[in-house]
Amino acid sequence: MIFTVAIDGPAAAGKGTISRAVAARFGFRHLDTGLLYRAVGALGGDPVAAARALSPEDLARDDLRTLEAGQAASRVAAIPEVRAALLDFQRRFARSEGGAVLDGRDIGTVICPEAEVKLFVTASPQVRAHRRWLEVGGDAAQVLAEVLERDARDMGRAEAPLRAAADAVVIDTSALGIDEAVEAACAVVAQRLPRTR
C-alpha cells in the first residue's frame, strides 16, 4: 500500500513529535525532512554540493537539533538548487510501499501535493518560542526573536514558502497537550486509510 501523510508547520509547533507518533501508530516509515536541510547547513561549504552529496551518516550527526543548525537550515532551504537536489529523495521516500509520514515546511504544497493526508500543525509564536526555550535554554526573548525571524524567512521565501496546503487539516497545538495533538492527527489519518487495512 502506498499512503503518504504530509505534515507541515512552523518551528516548534509539534509536527516532529506528532509525525513520529503517527508513523509508530500506523506502522509507516518516517522522514523528518528538516534534518536534510539541517545537515546541509551544518556541513558548511557550498550548500548545493553538500545537498547533492548528502549521506545517511550526515543525518545522524548529534548537532542537528541546535538553534544554530535550525537557522542554517532555514538559510539553505531558501536556495532553489538545494531544494531541487533533495526533492527526488523525499518524493521516492513518500511513495514507497508500506506508507510514509514526512514532516517539514512544504510537504503538502510542493513535495507531495498528492498525499492522501495533509496536516498543518501550528501554534502561536509565543507558545512555540517557550517550547524551544525549554528545549535549548538561553535567553527567552532571544529565542522568541529567532522564532519570529525564522517564521518570516520560511513564510517569505520565494521558493516553496511555508503555508498550509488548501486541503490540509489545521491542528493548532497552542492549547493542546502532546497526547491530544497526536490523537487529533491520528483520527484524520485513520479516517482516510483504505478500509481494507
Extract the annotated binding site.
Answer: 9-17
Residue set of the binding site for ATP:
9-17
Q: Are strands 100-104 and 29-32 parallel, antiparallel or unpaired?
A: parallel
Cα–Cα distance for residue pair 186/22, rounded to 1 Å: 6
Distance CA 124, CA 118 (A): 20
Q: E strand or H helix at 56, and its extent?
A: none
Q: 163: exposed, middle or buried (C-beta count within 10 Å: 0-12, 13-18, 19+)?
A: middle
Residues with Cβ within 8 Å of residue 5, at least 6 apart in sequence: 19, 22, 23, 28, 99, 100, 101, 102, 115, 116, 117, 119, 189
Give Cα 44 to chain centroid, integer Å. Answer: 21
Angstrom distances, CA of residue 22 to CA of 67, 156, 181? 25, 29, 10
**AA identity, residue 136:** V
CB 108 within 8 A of CB 114: no
